[in-house]
C-alpha cells in the first residue's frame, strides 16, 4: 500500500427526487489497497459505486482517479479510466465460453480469430499472474458460481482495470469459495491493483480489507484502518447505535408436534431426486434449523412442505391434520389454511410482487381472507389500515403503504414478507434464508421476531446457508446433504463438525 | 429508492400524448412526401371526425368497437396473456348476437332481446377463447399461436354457417335476414335527449361499452379475482406461492377477454347492420391490441385511445374523400405509425422525461 490515492471523491452529492442518496461524500482510496465499504441496505453504497462506474451522474462534487480530476459519463468511460466492476448479479452470457465472454465488447476487430488468440494468451498471463485459473473453453453454464465470478474478475482485468469494484461478491458463494475469492483479492492487491469491496458482512471486512469506510444514510460516517477497529465498533457505526450481534434467547420449551414430515421425496424437472425420503418433526415452541450447503435440497424441502412443489411421496401433518402431498396436496392455499406460514428463500422471485404497492404485498396469499373485503371485493381501506399496522410494528421504512415494493431496500422488503407471515399467527412458520441480503440492524430485528414467535409457543422450521445464523437461532440442527438429512446435532456442536457433515462426511467421521 | 418513477399523470397522460404527437409528425412527413399539405390533411382529419355532429357520431361508433376489443386485450395483458384472437372471438360473438335476435326480434322489444344478445355475444366469444386458454393452461401451447389460428378457424366456420345454414332462403348473399325492431338497438341520439348525430350509427352500445370499462376496472382493481389476475401477470411464481391456480386464472381471464371481444358484435350487428354478415369484424379485433397498448391497459386510457382510433377511421375516410392522393392505404400507414409510436416505441420518451422530472422533483426538496 502506498500513500498515493487511486480514487478520491470530493463532496460527491446525489439526489433521487426527495431521496438524498449520497450526501457530500469524501472518500480516499489508497493505491494498492483493499478498501471496504460497509453500510446497511439503502445507506447509499450502491449509488456511490454507480456514480464511480458511470451509471449515475453526481449532482455535484468531484471524482479524482490517480490524482486527476475526471468525469465519468458512462461505464465505457469508467473502463477507459481503468475502473472495472464485478456486479452482484453476473453479467455473463450463459451459453458462451469463458473466452467469448471475456472478449465480449472488446473483440478487437470485425473478425474474431485474431482477437480470440490474443485474448487466449492474455488470459493465460492473467491466470499465471493472479492465480485465476479458468478453462477458457468451458461454457459459463457448466461452471460453478465461484468460477463464474472469477470470469467476471478476468473480464475486468482483461480490460486492464487497475481499480476493481466488487459489489456484495460473496452473497452467492460457499464459505470455501469466499475464502478463495479473498485469496485472489490479496494477490491482486499485492500486484498493485486497488480493490473496492462493498459488503454488509463485517466478517469479510475484517478478514480481507486494509481500510474500511462506513456509510449510513447516504453519508460516510467513518473511515478506519481495519486492524484498528472491531466488528462491534463497525456495527455500531453502521446502525448508529449499539447492536447485539448475539441472539438473546432462553432455553426452548418444546410442546406438542406442530409439523410432522414423513418420507418426503421430491424429484426435480431433470428427474433427479433432490429430496430423498426426509422425515422430520417440529414441536411447538422450538426452532429447528436445517443446515447445509446451498443446493442440497433444503429449498425444495421447504417448497414441498408449503405445498408449492409436486412430490413423489410424502405426507405432512400440520397441527394434527394430515395431508398426503401426492394426493393433490400441492395446494399452498390449503396449507396456509392449516396454519402454516412460509417466508420463501427468494423474496423477489417468490415472496413479493415487486411491481405492486406495499399494501398489496401485505395480503399476498391471504387475499381471500374475509377480513380484507366482502364477497368477491377487496376493501382497500381495510387493507391499507392493516398494512400500516404492520409497517409500524415492524418499523418498515419508508412508512408508505402505497409505495411500489421494488423501491424498498432488501431488508425492508424482507420485513414486509415476515410481517405478513408472522402477523397471521401461524402454528408453524417455514423460513428460508431470513436474513439473506439484509443489513445488520434488520437482522437483529428479524432474529428477535423469530425467537418471539417460538416463545409464543409456535414451531419454526428454519433453513439457512449461514451456519452462524442456524447456530444462533436453532434449538436443534438438522444437517442436509444430497437431499438427505444426514444428522441431528445440538446447536452448540463445533462448527467444524457441522461443516464436515454439510460436506457429506458420515456422522462418525465428523465427530472425530 | 430507485429512480424509475414518474408522476402518474405523466405516465398515463403526457407520455401517450407525446407518442401520438410524434406519430402525427412522422405521418405529416409522409403526407408531405406524396405532395399534399400536411396541415390541411390534419384539418380535414380533425374536422371530419370531430367538426360536425355526424362525424362525431361515426367517431364514437368506431370507438365503441375499439373499446370492447381494447378491453379484451387489456384484461388478458393483466394476467400476462397476449390474446390476439379478438378478431375471431368477436366474429363468433356476432353469431351469439344474431341467434338471440333471430329468435326474439319478432316477439319482444329491443330491451328484452338485449340481455340475451349480450349473453350470447359474451358466451360465444368466451367459448372461442376457451380452447386456446385450456391448451395454454394444460399443455403449454402458447395463446399467441393458438388464438391467431383460431381467427382463421372462426373465419372458415362463419363462412360455412352463413352460406349453408343461416342465409335467407333463395338468397345468394352470405348473410342472415334483417332483424325486426326487436333486434335493433336504438340510436344514441334517441336514448340521450338533446344529442344529434345525424345519420351516424352510434347507438346504445356506446353506453354499454362505457359500462364495460367500469366493470373491467372494478374487476381488475377492486376484486380478489382481479388481484389474482394481476399477481399472476406480474409474477407467476409468487402467484403459485400465494395459492393462486395458474390454470384457473388463465382460463377465467381468457373467458373474460373473449367475452369482451364478443361484445363488439353487439355494436356492429345489433346496433348497426341489423343482420349477421360475412367479415363484419374487419380488423377491429386487431386494432384492439393497439388500443390496449396505447391505453396502458387501463379502462380510462382505453376510452381515449379508442376515440383516437375512431377519429382516425372516420377522419381518414373524410381525408380519402377530400384529398384523393391520400388513399385508404395512407390512413393505414398513419394508424400503423400510431401503433408503432404508442405501442412498440412506448418508452422512447421515458428516459428524457425521467431526467426532466428528476430535476423538477429535486428542486423543491431543500424546502421540504
Q: What is the pLDDT of residues A158-167, one digit of tens each?
A: 888 999 999 8
* Shared domain check, A152 and A272: no
Number of alpha helices (DSSP H) and beta strands (DSSP E) in chain A: 17, 20
Task: Kindly give, in sequence order, each residue whose CB lies less than 8 Å from that of residue A270, ignoring residues fewer than 6 positions away.
Answer: none
Grid cell 404485498 in the structure block, residue: A361
Q: Which of A442, A422, A441 is nearest to A430 (CA)?
A: A422
pLDDT tens digits for B174-228? 999 999 999 999 999 999 999 999 999 999 999 999 999 999 999 999 999 999 9
Helical spans, DSSP H, in A434-504:
440-455, 467-473, 495-502
Q: What radius of gyration do chain A's Cα atoms show?
A: 24
* Shared domain check, A441 and A314: yes
Residue A251 lies in a domain: no
Alpha-carbon distance of A422 to A437, in angstroms, equals: 20
Give yes or no for a contact between B60 and B272, defined as CB atoms under 8 angstroms apart: no
Count the residues in chain A: 512
Q: Does B355 touch chain A (CB under 8 A)?
A: no
> How does the average pLDDT of chain B come out, rounded?
90
Alpha-carbon distance of B269 to B185, in angstroms, equals: 9
Nearest to B240 among A21, A308, A380 (CB): A308
Residue A329 lies in a domain: yes
Chain A CB contacts of B5 under 8 Å are 17, 404, 407
Q: Choose, out of A304, A347, A365, A409, the residue to mutate when testing the contact with B (most B CBs < 10 Å).
A: A365
Q: Which three cell numbers stand for residue B359?
A: 430535476
Residue A373 lies in a domain: no
> A-B interface: how many C-beta pairs under 8 angstroms?
95
Q: Does B232 touch chain A (CB under 8 A)?
A: no
* Shared domain check, A20 and A122: yes
* Shared domain check, A129 and A234: yes
DSSP state at residue B181: G
Task: Kindly give, in sequence order, each residue whose CB lies less than 8 Å from that of residue B71, ignoring residues fewer than 6 positions away.
Answer: B212, B213, B216, B260, B288, B292, B299, B302
Residue A386 lies in a domain: no
Nearest to A332 among B222, B240, B368 (CB): B240
* Shared domain check, A454 and A322: yes
Domain boundary among A211, A239, A267: A239
* Shared domain check, A294 and A162: no
Other Cβ atoms within 10 Å of B348 Cβ, number:
14
Alpha-carbon distance of A507 to B201, in angstroms, equals: 84
Write out the H or E segment, with its range, that includes residue A25: strand A19-30
Helical spans, DSSP H, in B161-298:
188-191, 205-222, 224-234, 236-241, 246-265, 284-294
Domain chopping of chain B, boundaries: 67-298
What letters, b where the CB count within 10 A reaches 16 and e where it falls short, cover B21-49?
Answer: ebbbebbbebbeeeebebeebbebbeebb
Nearest to A373 among B224, B235, B243 (CB): B224
Find the mean pLDDT for residues B134-145: 94
Residue A358 lies in a domain: no
Q: What was the ipTM of the complex prediction?
A: 0.85
* CATH assignment at residue A67: 3.40.50.300
Model confidence at B367, pLDDT cuts 50, 70, 90, reads very low
* Shared domain check, A264 and A234: no
Alpha-carbon distance of A338 to B159, in angstroms, equals: 55
First vs last C-alpha separation in chain B: 18
Q: Does B222 touch chain A (CB under 8 A)?
A: yes
Q: Which three cell numbers stand for residue A356?
A: 405492486
Alpha-carbon distance of A462 to A54, in angstroms, equals: 40
* Shared domain check, A285 and A176: no
Task: Kindly give, in sequence order, each residue whose CB lies less than 8 Å from that of residue A425, ignoring residues fewer than 6 positions away.
Answer: none
**How many domains, chain A?**
2
Model confidence at B17, pLDDT cuts 50, 70, 90, reads confident
* Shared domain check, A341 and A293: yes
Dihedral sign, Cα of residue B317, residue B321, residue B322, residue B324: positive
Chain A CB contacts of B368 under 8 Å are 18
- At residue A374, the 3 state secondary structure works out as coil
- At residue A289, the 3 state secondary structure works out as strand
Residue A506 lies in a domain: yes
pLDDT in tens, chain A (512 residues): 567 899 999 999 998 777 788 999 999 999 999 999 998 767 888 889 989 999 888 999 999 999 999 999 988 899 999 999 988 778 889 899 999 998 887 777 777 777 888 889 988 988 888 878 888 999 988 887 778 888 999 998 888 899 999 988 876 676 677 888 899 999 999 989 999 999 877 888 898 999 999 998 889 999 999 999 988 888 888 877 776 667 888 898 999 999 999 999 999 877 889 999 999 999 999 999 999 877 789 989 999 999 999 899 999 999 999 999 887 657 899 999 999 999 998 888 899 999 999 999 999 999 999 999 999 999 999 999 999 999 999 999 889 999 999 888 888 999 999 999 999 999 999 999 998 877 777 888 999 999 999 999 999 999 998 788 898 999 999 999 889 999 999 998 887 788 778 877 766 666 66
Q: Hey, which residues does A261 pair with through a beta bridge?
A: A280, A316
- Domain enclosing residue A279, as ranges: 257-351+427-511
Write out the H or E segment, with its range, that includes residue B362: helix B350-362
Alpha-carbon distance of B247 to A337, in angstroms, equals: 21
* Shared domain check, A291 and A207: no
Greatest distance between any 2 Cα atoms in chain A: 71
Residue A133 lies in a domain: yes
* Shared domain check, A320 and A202: no
- At residue A284, the 3 state secondary structure works out as coil
pLDDT at B95 over 50: yes
Task: Kindly give, in sequence order, each residue whose CB lies less than 8 Å from that of residue A373, ignoring residues fewer than 6 positions away.
Answer: A379, A382, A383, B224
Q: Which of B41, B117, B63, B128 is nearest to B291 (CA)?
A: B63
* β-pairing verdict for A287-291 and A313-318: unpaired
> B241–A356: do the CB atoms touch at under 8 Å?
no
> B1–A349: do the CB atoms touch at under 8 Å?
no
Give yes or no for a contact between A312 and A267, defined as CB atoms under 8 angstroms apart: yes
* Shared domain check, A313 and A204: no
pLDDT tens digits for B41-93? 889 999 999 999 999 999 999 999 999 999 999 999 999 999 999 999 999 99
> B3–A17: do the CB atoms touch at under 8 Å?
yes
Q: Does B25 touch chain A (CB under 8 A)?
A: no
Q: Which of A142, A138, A111, A112 is nearest to A127 (CA)?
A: A138
Chain A CB contacts of B1 under 8 Å are 16-17, 19, 21, 398, 407
Residue in B with minimal Cα distance to A367: B224
- At residue A259, the 3 state secondary structure works out as strand
Greatest distance between any 2 Cα atoms in chain B: 82
Amino acid at each position: 500500500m502506498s500513500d498515493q490515492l487511486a480514487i478520491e471523491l470530493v463532496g460527491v452529492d446525489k439526489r433521487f427526487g426527495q431521496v438524498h442518496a449520497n450526501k457530500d461524500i469524501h472518500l480516499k482510496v489508497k493505491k494498492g489497497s483493499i478498501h471496504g465499504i460497509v453500510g446497511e441496505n439503502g445507506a447509499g453504497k450502491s449509488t456511490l459505486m454507480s456514480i464511480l462506474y458511470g451509471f449515475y451522474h453526481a449532482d455535484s462534487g468531484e471524482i479524482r482517479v490517480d490524482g486527476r480530476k475526471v468525469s465519468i459519463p458512462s461505464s465505457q468511460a469508467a473502463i477507459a479510466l481503468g475502473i472495472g466492476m464485478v456486479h452482484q448479479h453476473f453479467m455473463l452470457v450463459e451459453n458462451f465460453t469463458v473466452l467469448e465472454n471475456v472478449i465480449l465488447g472488446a473483440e478487437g476487430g470485425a473478425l474474431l480469430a485474431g482477437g480470440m488468440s490474443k485474448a487466449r494468451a492474455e488470459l493465460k498471463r492473467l491466470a499465471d499472474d493472479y492465480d485465476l485459473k479458468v478453462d477458457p473453453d468451458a461454457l459459463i453454464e457448466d461452471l460453478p458460481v465461484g468460477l463464474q465470478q472469477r470470469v467476471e474478475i478476468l473480464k475486468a482485468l482483461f480490460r486492464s482495470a487497475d481499480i476493481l469494484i466488487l459489489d456484495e461478491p460473496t452473497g452467492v458463494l460457499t464459505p470455501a469459495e469466499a475464502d478463495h475469492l479473498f485469496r485472489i483479492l490479496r494477490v491482486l492487491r499485492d500486484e498493485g491493483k486497488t480493490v473496492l469491496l462493498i459488503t454488509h458482512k463485517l466478517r469479510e471486512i475484517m478478514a480481507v480489507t486494509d481500510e474500511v469506510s462506513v456509510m449510513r444514510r447516504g453519508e460516510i460516517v467513518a473511515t478506519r484502518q481495519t486492524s484498528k477497529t472491531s466488528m462491534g465498533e463497525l456495527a455500531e457505526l453502521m446502525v448508529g447505535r449499539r447492536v447485539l450481534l448475539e441472539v438473546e434467547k432462553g432455553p426452548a420449551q418444546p410442546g406438542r408436534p406442530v409439523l410432522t414430515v414423513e418420507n418426503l421425496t421430491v424429484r426435480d424437472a431433470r428427474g433427479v431426486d433432490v429430496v430423498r425420503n426426509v422425515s422430520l418433526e417440529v414441536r411447538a415452541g422450538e426452532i429447528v434449523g436445517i443446515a447445509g450447503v446451498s443446493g442440497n435440497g433444503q429449498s425444495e424441502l421447504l417448497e414441498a412442505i408449503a405445498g408449492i412443489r409436486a412430490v413423489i411421496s410424502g405426507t405432512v401433518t400440520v397441527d394434527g391434520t394430515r395431508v398426503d402431498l401426492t394426493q393433490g396436496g400441492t395446494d399452498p392455499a390449503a396449507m396456509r389454511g392449516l396454519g402454516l406460514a412460509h417466508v420463501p428463500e427468494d423474496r423477489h422471485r417468490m415472496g413479493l410482487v415487486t411491481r405492486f404497492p406495499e399494501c398489496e404485498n401485505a395480503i399476498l396469499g391471504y387475499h381471500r381472507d374475509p377480513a380484507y373485503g366482502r364477497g368477491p371485493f377487496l376493501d382497500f381501506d381495510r387493507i391499507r389500515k392493516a398494512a400500516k399496522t404492520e409497517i409500524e410494528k415492524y418499523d418498515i421504512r419508508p412508512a408508505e403503504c402505497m409505495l411500489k415494493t421494488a423501491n424498498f431496500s432488501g431488508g425492508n422488503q424482507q420485513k414486509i414478507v415476515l410481517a405478513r407471515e408472522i402477523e397471521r399467527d401461524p402454528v408453524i412458520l417455514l423460513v428460508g434464508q431470513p436474513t439473506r441480503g439484509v443489513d445488520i440492524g434488520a437482522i437483529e430485528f428479524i432474529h428477535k421476531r423469530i425467537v418471539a414467535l417460538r416463545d409464543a409457543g409456535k414451531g419454526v422450521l428454519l433453513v439457512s446457508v449461514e451456519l452462524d445464523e442456524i447456530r444462533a437461532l436453532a434449538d436443534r440442527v438438522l444437517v442436509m446433504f444430497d437431499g438427505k438429512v444426514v444428522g441431528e446435532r445440538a446447536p452448540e456442536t463445533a462448527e467444524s463438525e457441522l461443516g464436515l457433515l454439510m460436506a457429506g462426511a458420515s456422522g462418525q467421521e465428523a465427530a472425530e | 429508492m430507485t429512480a424509475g418513477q414518474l408522476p402518474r399523470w405523466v405516465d398515463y397522460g403526457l407520455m401517450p400524448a407525446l407518442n401520438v404527437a410524434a406519430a402525427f409528425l412522422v405521418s405529416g412527413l409522409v403526407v408531405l412526401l406524396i405532395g399534399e399539405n400536411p396541415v390541411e390533411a390534419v384539418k380535414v382529419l380533425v374536422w371530419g371526425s370531430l367538426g360536425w355532429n355526424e362525424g362525431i357520431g361515426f367517431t364514437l361508433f368506431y370507438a365503441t368497437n375499439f373499446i370492447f376489443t381494447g378491453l379484451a386485450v387489456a384484461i388478458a395483458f393483466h394476467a400476462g396473456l397476449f390474446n390476439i384472437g379478438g378478431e375471431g372471438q368477436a366474429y363468433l360473438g356476432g353469431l351469439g348476437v344474431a341467434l338471440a335476435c333471430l329468435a326474439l326480434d319478432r316477439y319482444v322489444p329491443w330491451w328484452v332481446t338485449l340481455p340475451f344478445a349480450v349473453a350470447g355475444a359474451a358466451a360465444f366469444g368466451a367459448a372461442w377463447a376457451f380452447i386456446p386458454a385450456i391448451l395454454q393452461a394444460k399443455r403449454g401451447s402458447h395463446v399467441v399461436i393458438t388464438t391467431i389460428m383460431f381467427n382463421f378457424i372462426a373465419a372458415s366456420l362463419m363462412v360455412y354457417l352463413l352460406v349453408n345454414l343461416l342465409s335467407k332462403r333463395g338468397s345468394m348473399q352470405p348473410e342472415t335476414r334483417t332483424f325486426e325492431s326487436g333486434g335493433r338497438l336504438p340510436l344514441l341520439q334517441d336514448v340521450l335527449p338533446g344529442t344529434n348525430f345525424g345519420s351516424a350509427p352510434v347507438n346504445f352500445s356506446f353506453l354499454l361499452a362505457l359500462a364495460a370499462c367500469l366493470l373491467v376496472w372494478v374487476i381488475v382493481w377492486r376484486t380478489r379475482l382481479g388481484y389474482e389476475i394481476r399477481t399472476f401477470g406480474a409474477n407467476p411464481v409468487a402467484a403459485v406461492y400465494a395459492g393462486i391456480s395458474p390454470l384457473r386464472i388463465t382460463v377465467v381471464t381468457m373467458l373474460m377477454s373473449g367475452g369482451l371481444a364478443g361484445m363488439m358484435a353487439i355494436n356492429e350487428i345489433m346496433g348497426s347492420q341489423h343482420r349477421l354478415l360475412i367479415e363484419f369484424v374487419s380488423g377491429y379485433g386487431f386494432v384492439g391490441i393497439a388500443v390496449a397498448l396505447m391505453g396502458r391497459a387501463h379502462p380510462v386510457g382505453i376510452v381515449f385511445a379508442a376515440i383516437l382510433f375512431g377519429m382516425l377511421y372516420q377522419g381518414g375516410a373524410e381525408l380519402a374523400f377530400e384529398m384523393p392522393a391520400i388513399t385508404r392505404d395512407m390512413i393505414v400507414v398513419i394508424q400503423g405509425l400510431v401503433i408503432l409510436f404508442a405501442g412498440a416505441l412506448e418508452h422512447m420518451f421515458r428516459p428524457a422525461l425521467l431526467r426532466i422530472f428528476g430535476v423538477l422533483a429535486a428542486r423543491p426538496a431543500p424546502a421540504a
